[in-house]
Amino acid sequence: MPRRRALPLWTLLVLLQLALVPSPLAGCLLSPCLEVIPNTTFRCTGLNISGVLTGVPNTTQNLDLSFNNLKSLRSNYFSSVPELQLLDLSRCHLHTIEDNAFKNLHGLSTLILTANSLQYLGTAAFYGLTALKKLVLVETNMTSLTDLPIGHLHTLQELNLGHNSITSLKLPEYFTNLTSLRHLSFFSNKITYISKGDLDALREGNRLNLTLVLSLNNIKSIEPGSFAKIHLGELVLRSTFESFSVMHTSLQGLTGLKVKRLIVGEFRNNHKLENFQSGLLSGLCQVQMQEFVLTCFRSFENNTDTLFNCIGNVSTIRLLSLGLEEISEVPVSSQVRQLEFKKCDFDEVPAEKLSHFRELRVLRITKSTSLRRFEQKFKNLRNLEVIDLSENRLTFSGCCSRLFENCPNLKHLNLSFNSNIRLTGNFNNVRNLLYLDLQHTPLSDPGSYPVFLFLQKLIYLDISHTKTHVKSQCTFCGLNSLQVLKMSGNSFENNRLANNFKNLSHLHTLDISSCKLVQVDQSTFDDLSELKEVNISNNKLLTFDPGVYQPLKALRVLDFSNNQLTVLLDSALESLPDSLVLLDISQNLFDCSCTHLNFLKWIKEKQELLQNKELMICHMPAYVKNMSLSSFDLSSCHLSTGQVVASVAMPLGIVALLCLIYKYYFQFYYSLVLLSGCKHSAERGNTYDAFVIHSSKDQEWVIKELVEPLEGGTPSFHLCLYYRDFLPGVPIVTNIIEEGFLSSRNVIAVISSNFLESKWCSYEFDIAQSWQLVEGKAGIIMIVLEEVNKALLRQRLGLSRYLRRNTYLEWKDKEISKHIFWRQLTGVLLEGKQWNNEERKTELDLRSMAQKERKWQNYFAKSEASLNETFGMEKEDGMEKEDGMEREDGVRETEQANSLQDSRLYTY
């Protein structure tokens, strides 16, 4: 066998750390469960857990282990999580639960074992669950209740056995111990027969609150007496019978049953029976029930005559999702007090037939899409208190006195969510009305005159989103007892809230949101001293006028959100009622400028008062836009000494910098061009032998005495002159740098009085020095004309200092001086010049002639000195002195020229 390699050292160290030191990394590796609520709720679904439970803390209360591969639960399996309250083991492939598997889980109240094929349950499988209230055994392949070991679960309130294969409703004797049971579901099992004695365990004890669900079984027979003397809270029989005859006979088997609510019928998507047949409910005549629910029959046709025959004594009848188009005959002695028709097929409100339910107190006809007409009158329903006709498609006029003839006790009328209603203003027959709900039903012109004048007892009125346009200030006249007025989504004349609520002195709640309001008059709330809640949100109000809300001494809740408010001024903050406990000013256009510092401080101080603080966002200035007012830094509005100094110094510094840039613009610009140009200087080559810097006033001298001899002589030199060689359309500085310095081997500066007075010459000379320093390969040849003003030269410190430190050429009219000048100048220009063959020969000849000339000069000088000594030639004193001085000057000039030629001192 191949040998296993040893683990690397670093791997061993990590494993040792995980074993000895509890760390976040260890938790991630050992517990892949999702922590929904820290330390208490974990979701470990689909992790293929099959062994001992690890990785969740012992403080866990809710644990979801569904979709794992546990297979079996051994004794004391959940000992590491003793605080569990909810445990979900759905679809964990469990087939075995051994004794004491849930031992010591004294706090577990919900256990879900859905979709596990349980084959073995130990007799003590559920021991230790002393607080269990809900046990879900849905889809666990159970066929019988006999061996289900739950008789000791005295606290069990809900047992769900749905979607199994249980064939008998025979309840084992241990059910008598489950005295807390409130819900027992056999939904979708295989129960076919219910025999007498099957439910004996329910006869003992108080079962008045137990719900028994037998829906979606295939019951073929219920033996008479099976439910006798049994009291239930609710019995559900939906989609339970396969035919009309089976249902008819089986319902007779319920004789003797006492139940609070009996639900019979079908499911919307699972119909075994579709048509309701006459006499179908006759078996219920011997059943005592308080509420009867019939649901999901698609067709009634004309078989409704017996619908209420056996349920006439029931207190509450609910008919849901029925194809019922009209009402059958109503028993004269009907005791029905509450009657509901939901999702039925009426096309007209059957007021005449319904008027036979003399004891009727509550009538609801809702969500009927075909119900459009309301023309019949309700008559003599003196006990009727509530009529709910909401969520239909009613369109009618003449509301409302005519339609409720002799219904004096009607207190609650709901006509909301219909198509269109025209109010006449006549409420004579319903003067005792307390609640009127018309929301989301378009009303015809209720704001033009006082349509509610007779409703002096009305305390609740909702006309929200009814397209009401309030024109008259007496729209709400007569509502002297009104406490709640909701009219959101409507409008007022000129989008202005005036004195529209006078006489509503008992109003507690007012909702005028989304009414397009742009102005609220000062006297609007003067009479509303008892007003506690105001919703004026989603309007277009620009200001919060303190005088408007000052009369509201009892105000507790104010919603001013989603308007166009920028700030609450100091006067508004001071006038807010002391009784106010909730204020919503979110989603406004807040100005967070430091000029409103008092308002920003107030926001910080009133965090408990303000609602939806996360939606209070700065709208301006731009630098704080979208910042929460709650997180606004107030210290940014308090300038420190350093900030003041900085705020003053910064503008001054900027001004000084601009002045420097203006004054030294040329130098700055030159520096940029120079730095960029030097990178490419090596590639340009030497187009010119020298770039000449001179004053335009010296141009004649430059052309005659400098340019013509140098460019027309032998050898020939090529000079760069600004008036001739600079490129048109290019900045001067760029021409100076690129065409002058970067294209020339040398720089010739012609120093004159005109030069000293010229700014451009000074700039060019400064550039020349910088260029010389950067390039490091060429010199500046200084030519000083003899007429230079020495005093003016001394004023130019930079140029004067340069001349003192460097050798320069002087121009004089003497022939010998000119001769020496040209020899020195051409010698400098020849250095580094590239020659062709002819020019090279000429250069050598010139150098040879220069050497011979120096030799002859030395020879003549020595010969002259020897003759003077030998012959003692005497001359007149004046002439002798003059000749001596001339000779001395000549010798000195000759020696100076030789020295310059040999040592090249004319370069920098």
Which pLDDT band, with edges at 50, 70 and 90, does 517 fall under?
very high
Which pLDDT band, with edges at 50, 70 and 90, does 775 fall under?
low
pLDDT on residue 670: 57
Structure tokens at 908: 């920098």
**Lowest-confidence segment of 224-238, 308-322, 402-416, 624-638 by average pLDDT:** 624-638
Q: Indicate whether 903 pLDDT > 90.
A: no
pLDDT on residue 820: 81
Neighbours of 345 (CB within 10 A): 17
At residue 101, what is the residue type? A
How far is 410 from 414, CA to CA, in rounded Å? 11
Q: Indicate whether 687 pLDDT > 90.
A: no
Task: CATH number for 680-849: choose from 3.40.50.720, 2.40.30.10, 1.10.3720.10, 3.40.50.10140.
Answer: 3.40.50.10140
Paired sense of beta strands 34-37 and 41-43, if any: antiparallel
pLDDT on residue 639: 57
Question: Which residues lie below 8 Å from residue 278, measured CB to CB, with a gap of 6+?
Answer: 303, 305, 306
In three-state secondary structure terms, 897 is: helix
Neighbours of 419 (CB within 10 A): 12
In three-state secondary structure terms, 260 is: strand
pLDDT on residue 106: 93
Neighbours of 349 (CB within 10 A): 25
Tens of pLDDT, residue by residue over 429-487, are 899 999 999 999 999 877 778 889 899 999 999 999 999 999 888 889 889 999 999 99
Which pLDDT band, with edges at 50, 70 and 90, does 533 fall under?
very high
CB 484 within 8 A of CB 509: yes
Q: Average of pLDDT values for 786-811?
A: 71
Average pLDDT taken over every residue of the chain: 82
pLDDT on residue 797: 56
Which residue did the predictor score with more confidence, 410 or 897? 410
How far is 156 from 133, CA to CA, in rounded Å? 4
Residue ranges per structural domain of the chain: 680-849
How far is 490 from 505, CA to CA, in rounded Å? 22
Tens of pLDDT, residue by residue over 602-629, are 988 889 999 999 999 999 888 888 988 8
Which pLDDT band, with edges at 50, 70 and 90, does 863 fall under?
low
CB 471 within 8 A of CB 451: no
Which pLDDT band, with edges at 50, 70 and 90, does 766 fall under?
confident
Tens of pLDDT, residue by residue over 185-232, are 999 999 999 999 999 998 876 678 899 999 999 999 999 999 999 999
pLDDT on residue 846: 55
Q: Indicate whether 899 pLDDT > 50.
A: no
Which pLDDT band, with edges at 50, 70 and 90, does 43 fall under?
very high
Which pLDDT band, with edges at 50, 70 and 90, does 16 fall under?
very low
Q: Indicate whether 421 pLDDT > 90.
A: yes
**Lowest-confidence segment of 25-29, 352-356, 432-436, 437-441 by average pLDDT:** 25-29
pLDDT on residue 548: 87
Which residue did the predictor score with more confidence, 632 or 123? 123
Which pLDDT band, with edges at 50, 70 and 90, does 900 fall under?
very low
Rg (CA), the chain: 56
Structure tokens at 573: 């903050």
Which residue did the predictor score with more confidence, 778 or 268? 268
Tens of pLDDT, residue by residue over 243-292, are 888 998 999 999 999 999 999 998 888 777 767 777 788 888 899 999 99
Which pLDDT band, with edges at 50, 70 and 90, does 874 fall under?
very low
How far is 828 from 807, CA to CA, in rounded Å? 12
pLDDT on residue 871: 42
CB 324 within 8 A of CB 296: no
Tens of pLDDT, residue by residue over 371-406, are 999 999 999 899 999 999 999 999 999 888 889 988
Q: Average of pLDDT values for 95-119?
A: 94
Q: Indicate whether 158 pLDDT > 70.
A: yes
Backbone angle region of 106, left / alpha / beta, with phi > 0 → left and psi within -120 to 50 → alpha: alpha
How far is 316 from 339, CA to CA, in rounded Å? 6
Q: Phi/psi of residue 569, each to 5°? A: -70, 165
Which pLDDT band, with edges at 50, 70 and 90, does 170 fall under?
very high
Which residue did the predictor score with more confidence, 342 or 245? 342
How far is 214 from 696, CA to CA, in rounded Å? 118
When mean pLDDT is compared over 587-591, 665-669, 805-809, the highest value belongs to: 587-591
Which residue did the predictor score with more confidence, 498 or 854? 498
**Lowest-confidence segment of 252-256, 344-348, 563-567, 693-697 by average pLDDT:** 693-697
Which pLDDT band, with edges at 50, 70 and 90, does 334 fall under?
confident
pLDDT on residue 40: 93
**Lowest-confidence segment of 130-144, 295-309, 513-527, 615-629 by average pLDDT:** 295-309
Q: Indicate whether 631 pLDDT > 50.
A: yes
Q: Average of pLDDT values for 752-778?
A: 74
pLDDT on residue 206: 65
Sign of CA dihedral 847, 848, 853, 856: positive
Which residue did the predictor score with more confidence, 757 or 568? 568
| Nearest CA-CA partner of 712 in 813, 826, 848 | 826
Structure-token match 């760390």, residue found: 23
pLDDT on residue 624: 87
* Percent of the chain whose predicted confidence (pLDDT) is above 70: 81
How far is 374 from 390, CA to CA, in rounded Å? 13
pLDDT on residue 896: 43
